[in-house]
Amino acid sequence: MWLKLNRTGSLNTFLSTWHEAAMTSAGLFWMALWAFGLGYLVSSMIQVFVTRERMKKTMGGRGPKAVGLGTFFGFISSSCSFAALATTRSLFAKGAGLIPALAFLLASTNLVIELGIIIAVFLGWQFVVGEYAGGILLILLTWLIVRVTGAFGLTKKARERAQAQEGSDDNGDVPDWKKLMASREGWRKVAQRYVMEWGMVWKDVTVGFTVAGIIAAFVPRSFFEALFIGSGSDDPAFWQVAAQTVIGPVAAFFTFIGSMGNIPLAAVLFSNGVSFAGIMAFIFSDLVVLPVLRIQAKYYGWGMALYIAGVFLLALAATALVLHYAFAGMGILPDAGSVKSVTDREFFNVDYTLFLNLAFLALSGVFLWWKAVTAGFGNPMGTGITERVLFGLSVIACLWLAGGLLIAPLLTG
């Protein structure tokens, strides 16, 4: 009898926690939906009206001006890591210097508008400032490291390999952005780009929000305190903060979620006491995860891929440390104790989030219909083993979420 009751209690506990995890994932996504929509709308407009051809024509140099242009074009470009990798290869193959190309890559995944909006929703203004200030510092440190090391002579072979894959898929024309913006065709392209942006990230977002909910509901705080040395401490020692800047990229490497999907998980980590430096290192690590490393190797060879990953790791760890102690010195270091746990938040209320979400759902529906009748849709699984694995994980995540949301009627007091 006791064993039966114990099993029943354990089952009820699991079902209740499963439901909590699914509700947390759904709630986190509901909070961020309008921010995704706004970010991808702005990004799509910029990518249509400021074309890749225009970027190529203005990034041929290798000096400070080219690095500045690379940073600027990255800032106004897509935040999807995989799209940014492809564009970076194209720019590098067409003659952009290695440093401007890497500046574009870093800016397009760390300085973009939509990422800042998502960070503001989940983590607060200090992290937004840290993201943008850190993104600039990350680019400067990368510039310094590449200049000092000279990329160990790998640049020539990497460019030849990238050029062999790039081919000549454009005629070099630069459309008049004013005419394009005033035309129906221009906005049709915006609609297509908007849907494509969602198509590129929906798998990362689905897996990312699902993992965040699972970790928030199932993983105890003691685990984070053991994994992130010194987490939960009011005044961690320097070596503990430094250790967290190393553990952050390791955690990102094994979760391999894209930059947008990482933010809700970063919120979970922060609410469990991980330091500002550890969180920033985790967020900055979207370009050192395994799928990105494999793609870089395909584009440039393993030597250059490992070199870029090593440069990024050094730069992001140093950046996270500088940000942490600079914010501490200015008295603006965010306090994890003042942040409500994600499982304790009220997600579904009649407020500005509801109305903004409804507006962007309507816009998304219109754009989805427009693309369907004019261009159709590609393979939702994507191409390549990485995308197929991610597609499988996203399907599993959807089934997990559906089961967790529907399990409530089976729960007993």
Check residue 4 and give its pLDDT.
45
pLDDT in tens, 204-227: 778 878 887 888 888 887 888 788
Q: At what angle do helices 290-300 and 302-330 cross, to 10 degrees?
A: 130
Check residue 349 and give its pLDDT.
81
408 pLDDT above the threshold of 70: no
pLDDT in tens, 356-366: 899 999 999 99
Cβ(244)–Cβ(274) below 8 Å: yes
What percent of the chain is modeled with pLDDT above 70?
Answer: 81
68 pLDDT above the threshold of 80: yes
Please write down the long-range contacts of 354-358, taking CB distance under 8 Å and 24 or more positions apart: 356/34, 356/38, 357/30, 357/33, 357/34, 357/37
Mean pLDDT of 165-191: 72
- Report d(CA 251, CA 81) in Å as an integer: 17
Burial of 399 (0-12, 13-18, 19+ CB in 10 A): exposed
Among the ranges given (39-48, 92-101, 397-406), the one the predictor scored with the smallest mean pLDDT: 39-48
pLDDT in tens, 260-275: 667 888 888 888 888 9
Check residue 259 and give its pLDDT.
65
What percent of the chain is modeled with pLDDT above 90?
Answer: 25
Angle at 127 between CA 121 and CA 128, to 5 degrees: 70
**Of the candidates 66, 75, 143, which has an alpha carbon nearest to the alpha carbon of residue 97?**
66
